[in-house]
Structure 1
């Protein structure tokens, strides 16, 4: 890949029914049903809804052999109605179900963490080299017969590694790390290659976008070293719903797509599955508009490691840069209401206020600036000569990559208290802004930089996707000391501020609200997920900084919640188990009592605070 210039990564081609994947084929979109796989009619209807929304593939869960075998009836039902979209079976813990499904569907997803291994115990185990080799042989003994069934029926495989379901074997050597996730995948890939089986797609997912991006990058590098080029399925597990789910997905998936990585994607929202498709399509379409863009001349900073990025060191100017969290600048007059959604700075353009409230910080255009407390001037690049004459405690200078000149560098080294606002009108915003940061590093310049992008959107979903995909890749590489979203369309200033904080939270740069790690629902879900999420949020959304996992079942629940403070997990039909971290505190609570029990658990551990 070229870090500054967009080009899609070359991958091998995988045959999946009538819709091949990888190579020069389009990036494929998919979703997953949440009906019971034994409900043939209901599953057929939902598959059709997903297909008509624009999906290239549809995935269904198969908990056991019985469910796997019923996929044949679902497939026949779809064919009878004229739908030939490839079907994918999702398997956990049950190799026999995988065997049965492989004779029916077009692709089978297996999880290397639980295909042979039992459920993760989170116990500290040790393996000698001999014992570890024995474990790999045990995988081979069970995987090879499954591969032979797939060969016979022309069935593809997805190796789907999840952060939350690594085996105890992997945990013993690598811990709960990106490196462990990569090795979990490679164990299976090496066996597949030795058996001359190449119809393989890989996914390697986490609910934490930082871990997800780093792991995929490490996997690409590890495969390159072993001469592998399998296609990638991208997704952020348990992304959630609504605004947060869309932004988090756009940040995680969009960062990798911006690098040219990804052959198929699923946006995992805790909503009706067909609602995932337009979000995924908008994200792919937006990124692909960068193809063929004007070349960006950039020089990678010495020592920069794409797989192990470090925060760029900057000087601290007020509350910007240094060890301060990234700030949010709103392009509007301060919101004068009771909303908790407040920016750190407000850029009011040419509206210079006569007085400023003590809790507000205002940025105005330099030509209308007059010195007063909490008001700061913004200069354009052609106003550099004016900037030198204004001794404000904080001065903003808006520039683009084209302004990366010796003149600018000289100014930044001579003048203090300058914060840059970096904008771009390039077809590939991410690439051009990346090039500017590397220019700064190569010139030993530690000036703080605010990322600015301008849009003209009236549709909230469109703007959530575009801002997540544009700001996310920079922030994921620890570039940027703040963000400024400017939108000329009809979306409220409060919403733009909310998106800004959502992007910072999704990139783990700044936590300002409760974080919900919620699964997208499937046929294993034990309760109405959407209603449950709404009820949990209503009770806990004021607990800023707390992470709460809401899982429909235990398949990935315990592991994916390893990053959560509390967990609310489906234990049986309308039964819930509650977790503190990885420890189950109370099992099989009736669903109608579970929210109250959850709040009691949070109170008991002194993490509760009353709503203001």
Structure 2
């Protein structure tokens, strides 16, 4: 793949959702998902209003059945009565018929290719002949074309939202648990969209593992370009958790893609009040957009990361334990990702194979802003192997917070694990227990386990 040094936003078509546009020349849109019971119309309206007041531009609601569709209609009507025209999104799983109904009334419908027509995942390996596989695709096509026709008739937008954890047994059997499988899961649907001349569709491929999420989205962009597609992209790290870890994990995954111009709308998924997601998303978009105004760096085609095999380090914390010499690269440019890529490439071209540490200064006194900015700046550099360490300088932030942030970035990029990893979904109307308090209790009891992964799911 190509590693750019200057910010250039990917060109995409425009998708109309209610009165706003996603993609094209529109701003990167910020959205969230309610965690209320959709059938509790009053509570859902109140939470939607809080999300919108915080800066959310779309609000998604779980829509398990036709009863929830009717409730969502009432939520939309009440918001309109109050003069609020923010688009609403119906989140549909397993029930293709529910998507058909929701598309008649709601601004946008999200379906999951992994469970739209395929049965619920049973983790079975199924051997398909080519003709049997084609027959399954024909069944998918018949149902999906019906939904597209409804969307056309009602000017409804669609999101094809693939999740790493819910690939169908059919896809898993043929492609395995791979980025290629995730991409093909959505490309099957996109080819039908193109055939039916339906372009009002947004795509997402999400994972809780940032490396998988970034790799898959990059592969999706390449696959779409190869087939002449330019649909807008929705970014998010699913099941990112809460607190510092959730913010850093989201900023690493989303920020790495935004920095390369990939992404037209984002959702930061936190296992907290969904209103808390909005300022994190706004900070992330604002920070990456500052790359666009940075002075241009010389364009070059020789930028390729070279793995050094060196352990990932945090300086100055790990200085006394280094077994080899690291070179420190000080980043002062407005686009640190492009600058460090270029500096590392200069080293490699000169035959210098020492592992590199990126040093970056942050002047903000706000902890959340610092953590989001640092994670976005360093994420892709660590994941792609341009650097093997980082040194964060933030005079207005407590030293222990700076240190904890650096190690959390290494963990979020899968380079070094120093504590328990929590894979926790944000919760939604399908969640039948208090996920947020449960996560806090589990963290209190297990946070001392290094390298352990614990899933807390709704």
Shorter-chain TM band: over 0.9
Which residue number corresponds to residue 383 of structure 2? 476
Residues 9/2 of structure 1: CA separation in 2 closer, same or farther (3 Å cut): farther
1:531 aligns with 2:434: no
Give yes or no for contact 2:331–2:358 (8 Å, CA) kept in 1. no
1:327 aligns with 2:317: no
Correspondent of 1:425 among 311, 332, 354: 332
Give the CA deviation at 1:113.
0.4
Return the alpha-carbon distance in structure 2 between the equivalents of residues 119 and 498 of structure 1.
40
Superposed CA RMSD in Å reads 1.4
Q: Deviations over 1:487-516 (max 9, x none)?
A: 121x21111111011000000000110000
Return the alpha-carbon distance in structure 1 between the equivalents of residues 345 and 93 of structure 2.
43
Secondary structure at the aligned position of 1:436 is classed as helix
1:79-118 to structure 2, matched below 5 A, reads: 79-118=80-119
Secondary structure at the aligned position of 2:197 is classed as coil
Secondary structure at the aligned position of 1:290 is classed as helix
Correspondent of 1:313 among 307, 332, 347: 307
1:54 aligns with 2:60: no
Give the CA deviation at 1:476.
1.4
Return the alpha-carbon distance in structure 1 between the equivalents of residues 260 and 212 of structure 2.
16
Give yes or no for contact 2:15–2:202 (8 Å, CA) kept in 1. yes
Give yes or no for contact 1:313–1:446 (8 Å, CA) kept in 2. no
Correspondent of 2:350 among 423, 429, 443: 443
Q: TM-score, normalised by structure 2?
A: 0.97
Give yes or no for contact 2:239–2:425 (8 Å, CA) kept in 1. yes
Give the CA deviation at 1:457.
1.9
Which residue number corresponds to residue 223 of structure 1? 224
Q: Deviations over 1:445-497 (max 9, x none)?
A: 211211111111211100110100111120011121211111121x2111111
Return the alpha-carbon distance in structure 1 between the equivalents of residues 310 and 344 of structure 2.
18
Provide the aligned length of Structure 1 versus Structure 2. Answer: 457
Which residue number corresponds to residue 500 of structure 1? 406
Secondary structure at the aligned position of 1:21 is classed as strand
Q: Deviations over 1:10-65 (max 9, x none)?
A: 10000100111111100000000011111111111111011101011000010111
Give yes or no for contact 2:333–2:339 (8 Å, CA) kept in 1. yes
Q: TM-score, normalised by structure 1?
A: 0.73
Return the alpha-carbon distance in structure 2 between the equivalents of residues 34 and 263 of structure 1.
23
Give yes or no for contact 2:310–2:355 (8 Å, CA) kept in 1. no
1:131-142 to structure 2, matched below 5 A, reads: 131-142=132-143
Residues 429/132 of structure 1: CA separation in 2 closer, same or farther (3 Å cut): same
Residues 313/473 of structure 1: CA separation in 2 closer, same or farther (3 Å cut): closer
Give yes or no for contact 1:301–1:441 (8 Å, CA) kept in 2. no
Which residue number corresponds to residue 8 of structure 2? 7
Give yes or no for contact 1:300–1:435 (8 Å, CA) kept in 2. no
Secondary structure at the aligned position of 1:203 is classed as strand
1:535-550 to structure 2, matched below 5 A, reads: 535-550=441-456
Give the CA deviation at 1:529.
1.2
Give the CA deviation at 1:418.
4.5
Correspondent of 2:417 among 478, 488, 511: 511
Give yes or no for contact 1:300–1:438 (8 Å, CA) kept in 2. no
1:389-400 to structure 2, matched below 5 A, reads: none
1:148-227 to structure 2, matched below 5 A, reads: 148-227=149-228
User: Max radius of gyration: which structure?
Assistant: 1
Secondary structure at the aligned position of 2:327 is classed as strand
Which residue number corresponds to residue 520 of structure 1? 426
Correspondent of 1:459 among 361, 366, 372: 366
Give the CA deviation at 1:528.
0.7
1:284-323 to structure 2, matched below 5 A, reads: 284-301=285-302, 304=304, 312-314=306-308, 323=309
Give the CA deviation at 1:211.
0.2
Return the alpha-carbon distance in structure 2 between the equivalents of residues 253 and 325 of structure 1.
24
Return the alpha-carbon distance in structure 2 between the equivalents of residues 200 and 96 of structure 1.
19
Give yes or no for contact 2:201–2:231 (8 Å, CA) kept in 1. yes
Secondary structure at the aligned position of 2:295 is classed as coil
Return the alpha-carbon distance in structure 2 between the equivalents of residues 298 and 450 of structure 1.
23
Give the CA deviation at 1:313.
3.5
Which residue number corresponds to residue 124 of structure 2? 123
Q: Which has the higher contact order (CA 8 A, sep 6+)?
A: 2
Give the CA deviation at 1:121.
1.2
1:257-296 to structure 2, matched below 5 A, reads: 257-296=258-297
Give yes or no for contact 1:95–1:115 (8 Å, CA) kept in 2. yes
